[in-house]
Chain A
Amino acid sequence: MADEQKEQPGQQSPKESDGLLDRIKEEVEPLKGKLRQDLKGLQQPQKTQLYKSIFRVKHEETPRSRALGILSNVFLHLHPARINRDAVRYNYTWGMGGITFYLFVVLTFTGALLMFYYHPTKVQAFRDILYMEHDVPFGKLLRNMHRWAAHLMIITVWLHMFRVYLTGSYKKPREFNWCVGVILLVMTMLLSFTGYLLPDDQLGFWAVTVGTNMARASPMLGHEGPLGPEMGMTPFNDVRFALLGGSIVDSNALLRAYIWHCVAIPIIASAFMIVHFWRVRKDGGISGPSPMVLEKEVRWDRLDESTVKGRG
């Protein structure tokens, strides 16, 4: 590119053009070296600076190098470099936690797409649903994906909890992660509940009427609950009012449900999910039967007698 520009102006004298040729040769020489280097890089891409800037670890066939390769990559490090062989047996966990997270990802993606056509107002909400179903290409598919993924997520999150309970995985040292899991379960249920009202159809409207009426009976915080009236609770200042943004299920309730559903709860749940997954790793990976070691894998030379006895 640079030498082309220099040749274009045609009004130079022949004497000057000789000097120009030399200058061009001088400038091309280092480019040749660069070209050779690039060709070498194409033959061995792992040796280039570009490659090393992305993958910061040498790929040598040693266990340490392989472990580092995984640990130092933001995506690969989400999985442990080594896991207990029992942890890959699908019939121990049924993969329920992973499937739950996968469904959360599906719901986030389809939900974000649904938001392109949805207005959380009394006039438009239900019309938008009909519009989506009949006039938006793949709108019906998208809405049904969101719906079924939501149903499935409720099922899988319960089955995950069931598995964790049955395998005793809530015990030491995983007590804290069990509590985080309970919070995530509640968040999943709240996501399901707040999503119920959004179509603004009869089913959702009455479901939320019933659901928020239970809040009337909250002790101290509901105006019909024990000690509620004594605490000064009325239909206009109790916990039900805070949920609905009014004393009746109306436009404010729709808007509040929308914001909780699409912004607040997903962010809170994501934060807890980060802690949850991190703690799974820190507590020793997916819980399972005590790690099995084959006899041929035991490094007898590294064990003294007491260690062997201690292991039973």
Chain B
Amino acid sequence: MASLGGFLGVNLLMFMRFFFPRALFEPKTTFTVGYPSDFAYGVDTRFQQNARIWVVRNSEGLFAIYARCTHLGCTPDWKAAENKFKCPCHGSGYTNEGVNFEGPAPRPMDRALINLNPSGQVVIDTSRLFVQDPFRGVNQFGDEGAILRGA
């Protein structure tokens, strides 16, 4: 009985493990977007389609917003005329710095790791995200790598 149970149990574990492959073929999460001088003040949407980020420059510096609504994960649209991001799924609205101000989104959109490589180009990594969540009292937007100051 125990051996039968063990056999079936191991089979179940194998069955479940089957659904988690060892290798994946997903888009690269690290990429270069050009030199800091390529980016003027405001929102740059050139990399939304391929890399799911917006590169934004404000008075503090250059940072990359990960283009994923913090409500349920759709990609918001940049509405230049209204100077805001608007999510088409449930209507969350964000300022031009990705901070939520309307709709169901619970927190600002995450920011991706941003750095300069040795040749001076901007490198962005969306596998490392910086979170600001007022409900949990977390704010990583000032952390090392969340923003390129003075670049």
Q: Judge whether A245 and B74 touch: CB under 8 Å.
A: no
**CB-CB nearest in chain A for B24:** A246
Partner of B73, one of A210, A237, A241: A210
Q: Judge whether B72 and A213 touch: CB under 8 Å.
A: yes
**CB-CB nearest in chain A for B52:** A248
Q: Judge whether B20 and A209 touch: CB under 8 Å.
A: no
Q: Whole-angstrom distance between the alpha carbons of A216 and B70 in the complex?
A: 12
**CB-CB nearest in chain B for A216:** B73
Within B86-112, the residues touching A (CB, 8 Å) are: 88-89
Q: Judge whether A245 and B21 touch: CB under 8 Å.
A: yes
Residues of A within 8 A of B19 (CB): 242, 245
Cβ of A102 under 8 Å from chain B: no
The smallest C-beta distance from B78 to any residue of chain A, in angstroms, reads 17
Cβ of A206 under 8 Å from chain B: yes
Within A208-266, the residues touching B (CB, 8 Å) are: 209-210, 213-214, 216, 236-237, 241-242, 245-248, 250
Partner of A247, one of B16, B26, B74, B88: B26
Q: Whole-angstrom distance between the alpha carbons of A248 and B26 in the complex?
A: 8
**CB-CB nearest in chain A for B88:** A206
Residues of A within 8 A of B89 (CB): 206, 210
Partner of A206, one of B16, B20, B21, B74: B74
Q: Whole-angstrom distance between the alpha carbons of A265 and B19 in the complex?
A: 16
Task: Take A210-B89, A248-B26, A250-B26 as given contacts and tell me if A241 and B74 are in contact as well, using a CB distance cutoff of 8 Å.
Answer: no
Residues of A within 8 A of B21 (CB): 245
Q: Whole-angstrom distance between the alpha carbons of A15 and B21 in the complex?
A: 87
The smallest C-beta distance from B76 to any residue of chain A, in angstroms, reads 12
Interface mask (A164-198 → B, CB under 8 Å = 1, otherwise 0):
00000000000000000000000000000000000
Q: Judge whether A209 and B73 touch: CB under 8 Å.
A: yes
The smallest C-beta distance from A105 to any residue of chain B, in angstroms, reads 30
Residues of B within 8 A of A214 (CB): 72
Some 16 contacts from A to B, beta carbons below 8 A apart, are: A206-B74, A206-B88, A206-B89, A209-B73, A209-B74, A210-B72, A210-B73, A214-B72, A216-B73, A236-B24, A241-B20, A242-B16, A242-B20, A246-B26, A247-B26, A250-B26
- A216-B73, A247-B24 are known; give 17 further A-B pairs, CB within 8 A: A206-B88, A206-B89, A209-B72, A209-B74, A210-B73, A210-B74, A213-B73, A236-B24, A237-B20, A242-B16, A242-B20, A245-B21, A246-B24, A246-B26, A248-B26, A248-B27, A250-B26
